[in-house]
Amino acid sequence: MNTPDSAKSPARAGAARKASDKSARTRAREFALQALYQHLVGRNEAADIDAFTRDLAGFHKADSVHFDALVHGCIEQAGALDALITPRLDRPLPEISPIEHGVLWIGAYEFQNCPDVPWRVVLNECIELAKAFGGTDGHKFVNGVLHPLAAQLRPVEMAAQPAPRAR
């Protein structure tokens, strides 16, 4: 089944997806992360960030509706998203890198506001964002925070899709 979040599989397991293989929603998340970084680091206004980001090369290939929802939703709900994230952190929120902070916002926002995106897709996309843009082990940190958050925010969906069995 083709969903807005599906993309062609890489030729070999663990290979990074080529830019041409990325879905419009994956691109929207990447641009949203860049926009949220500008907000977290530069305290730039959402409208200014939005205008700047739309002029970046490749934005036309992104799902602009999903981008809008992520950027404006995360900035508007920043306090509530931080309240969801903070209890799962192993350090104070100000010590989290702005990249991981933005990725966690995206994950928490999508868990709460995008029921059309399966929880596993949200988790995987956020892990991939952290791998691509974050620190060396940032993806492990993101997984450690978002996986239990998925259990809290999407318990019925998670129960219906048990974890794959180990081989």
What mean pLDDT, rounded, does the chain reach? 86
Q: Which residue ranges in the chain fall short of pLDDT 70?
A: 1-20, 162-167
Summarize pLDDT for 22-64 with one digit per residue, the tens: 899 999 999 999 999 999 999 988 888 888 998 899 989 998 8
How far is the C-alpha of 116 from the C-alpha of 56, rounded, in Å? 27
Burial 17-43 (b: 16+ CB within 10 A, else e): eeeeebbbbbbbbbbbbbbbbbbbeee
pTM: 0.83
